[in-house]
Structure 1
Amino acid sequence: MLDVRRMQVLRAVVTSGSVTGAAALLGYTPSAVSQQIAALEKEARTELLERAGRGVRPTAAGLLLTGYADTIGRQVAEAETALADLLAGRTGRLAVRYFATAGACLVAPAVARLRAGHPGVRIDLKLVDPEDPLPDVREGRADLALVVGPRTAPGVRLLHLLDDPYLAVLPEGHPLAAPGPLRLADLAGEPWVGSEWPGPCLDAQLAACESAGFRPRFAVESEDYVTAQGFVAAGLGVTLIPRLGLAHGTRPGVAVRELRAPQPVRSLYAAVRETAPPQPALDAFIEALRAAAGDPEG
């Protein structure tokens, strides 16, 4: 097998035209250069240099290997540049898992911010609602996932982004739709329209209702914010929708009210792998998510 370092020594000899010139260029002794060339000729099983006056010139085999040494040198330089760009966060690839409302209000502005400052970073986005994305993070298939928590998962670290309060959504003209905040207990006797899949978001609603002294009676299950608003507008019940779920407007026929005593809240987190090596691009994306979380309605 040909030694790449010895091929670079050969390239220096051919470029300078002599062993002495190559030694000066490389910082070696002429004897060391000659030894490297002799070892490479043994590996190549042919002569690579021949005398030419007071210097040397490459044989056909020597010229061939010098050309490959040039190519290898350029590739190594390109690899060093690419590695430096990656380590500095100028390039890279991030796999991100997200759910719908986080995508519209957090992920979209964060991606735009990252692209503005790090145009060489590629972001692969995948909508996973209502799937649990934490296994993808833990097993390295995703660099980051947006989740509702808090929760525990081996090998995963959660970074808090924001607390997203739930708002009451009622039919227009409902006696409780008058301006002003509502107590959650005021909705105890109402038929409810489900707006969440089973999981931490629904758990946040049910826990708040329990602390208010009741369990909601679901008349309709929709598991979707837009559909839930449609059922509410039709007068089939009331529902709770997080503020981010209403950030881009409500449909006609509904009224939205703040809740008090208590106010259900879901907490949004960025999940990353605990043992992941440092990634400047990932750090920049987390910073962009936090900036978006500071102004979630854009």
Structure 2
Amino acid sequence: MLDVRRMLILRTVVTTGSVTAAAANLGYTPSAVSQQVAALEKQAGTALLERVGRGVRPTAAGRLLTEHAAVIGRQVAEAETALADLRAGRTGRLTIHYFATAGATLVAPALARFRQSMPGVRVDLTMTDPEDPLPEVTRGEADLAIVVCARDAHHEGVHLVHLLDDPYRAVLPKGHRLAARRVLDLADLADEPWVGSERPGPCLDVLLAGCAAAGFSPDLLVESEDYATAQGFVAAGLGVSLIPGLGLANRHPGLVVRKVRAPEPVRAIHAAVRETSLGDPALGGMLTALRDATRR
């Protein structure tokens, strides 16, 4: 196999016209240049240079390799430029997975801000409901995922950036006996029929853990697994529900929403990235944009 570095040295010898000039150009000794050319001739199985006076000129094989070396040189230069752009965050590609309620509130404004600062980076978005996207980060299928997990959670090889806490609210039909109260103890809902709002996963775990801490398990009359549908069932008077604040962005007019306490279930929303990718400037830019969207 031909050595690319030696081919580039040969090209310098041919373009400068002598081993001495090539050595000066490359910062090598003439002896080192001659040794590299001799090694390339051994690999090629034929002479590549012939002496002409005090200089050299390429043989047919030398011209052939010099032409290919010129192409390689251009490609290397292009690769170096592309790498520099990537390192500086001027180009690149990010794959982001997110769940539905984080889309409009966090991902959309963050992406708009990110595109202003890093317009050359392509961002591919995928909504992953109902699946938890964290495993997709660990498998390398996503560069960043918006996830729900405990604030002290630890996952091997994954760095979690806390974005916000999203508290659950009691959702009641208008005219409900508890609607006049501004804040409810979670236990006040223990004997009510319930409308489910969560699919199995981290969010449902938060809800059920809160109810368990209040001393009961909710009696699910209807399981909708969707915030908008759950609101419709509650407004129809079929039961009460707990829905996180981000899930109430489009509130049904037939509802009353109240804070809950003792305890107040809260889902902690994080950005999950691989620890090995923390130095990526594009990823860093997206994390900054997500934090800004959270603050706003």
* TM-score, structure 2 normalization: 0.88
Shift of 1:54: 4.5
CA distance in 2 between partners of 1:165 and 1:110 (Å): 21
The match for 2:132 is: 132
Shift of 1:189: 3.1
CA distance in 2 between partners of 1:206 and 1:31 (Å): 77
Q: How does 1:26-37 map to 2 (within 5 A)?
A: 26-37=26-37
Equivalent position amino acid for 2:5 in 1: R
Equivalent position amino acid for 2:234 in 1: V
Q: Is 1:244 matched with 2:246? A: yes
Q: Is 1:212 matched with 2:214? A: yes
SS at match of 1:240: strand
Q: Structure 2: 5+ residue runs without aligned partners?
A: none
Equivalent position amino acid for 1:22 in 2: A
CA distance in 2 between partners of 1:4 and 1:277 (Å): 33
CA distance in 2 between partners of 1:170 and 1:70 (Å): 74
CA distance in 2 between partners of 1:171 and 1:16 (Å): 86
- Kept in 2, the 8 Å contact 1:149–1:267? The answer is yes
Distance 1:120 1:193, change over 3 A: same
Shift of 1:292: 1.8
SS at match of 1:50: strand
Equivalent position amino acid for 1:186 in 2: D
Q: Is 1:10 matched with 2:10? A: yes
Q: How does 1:1-298 map to 2 (within 5 A)?
A: 1-150=1-150, 151-178=153-180, 180-247=182-249, 249-276=250-277, 278-295=279-296
- Kept in 2, the 8 Å contact 1:182–1:259? The answer is yes
Q: Deviations over 1:213-233 (max 9, x none)?
A: 433222111110010011112
Equivalent position amino acid for 2:196 in 1: G
Shift of 1:3: 2.1
CA distance in 1 between partners of 2:232 and 2:20 (Å): 86
Shift of 1:12: 1.4
Distance 1:79 1:169, change over 3 A: same
SS at match of 1:176: coil
CA distance in 2 between partners of 1:198 and 1:29 (Å): 70
Equivalent position amino acid for 1:85 in 2: D
- Kept in 1, the 8 Å contact 2:278–2:284? The answer is no
SS at match of 2:204: helix
Distance 1:265 1:22, change over 3 A: same
- How many residues were matched structurally? 294
Equivalent position amino acid for 1:282 in 2: L
- Kept in 2, the 8 Å contact 1:134–1:153? The answer is no
CA distance in 2 between partners of 1:77 and 1:61 (Å): 24
- Kept in 2, the 8 Å contact 1:231–1:237? The answer is yes
Distance 1:200 1:54, change over 3 A: closer
SS at match of 1:109: helix
Q: Deviations over 1:245-283 (max 9, x none)?
A: 112x21232222233343221111222334556322222
Shift of 1:242: 0.7
SS at match of 1:278: coil
Q: Deviations over 1:108-160 (max 9, x none)?
A: 22222222222232323222222233322223222222221114444434322
CA distance in 2 between partners of 1:208 and 1:39 (Å): 73
Structure 1 vs Structure 2: percent identity of aligned residues? 70
Q: What RMSD over aligned residues (CA atoms) do the two structures have, in Å? A: 2.4
Deviates more, 1:267-276 or 1:233-242: 267-276
* TM-score, structure 1 normalization: 0.87
Q: Structure 1: 5+ residue runs without aligned partners?
A: none
Distance 1:253 1:76, change over 3 A: same
Distance 1:194 1:67, change over 3 A: same
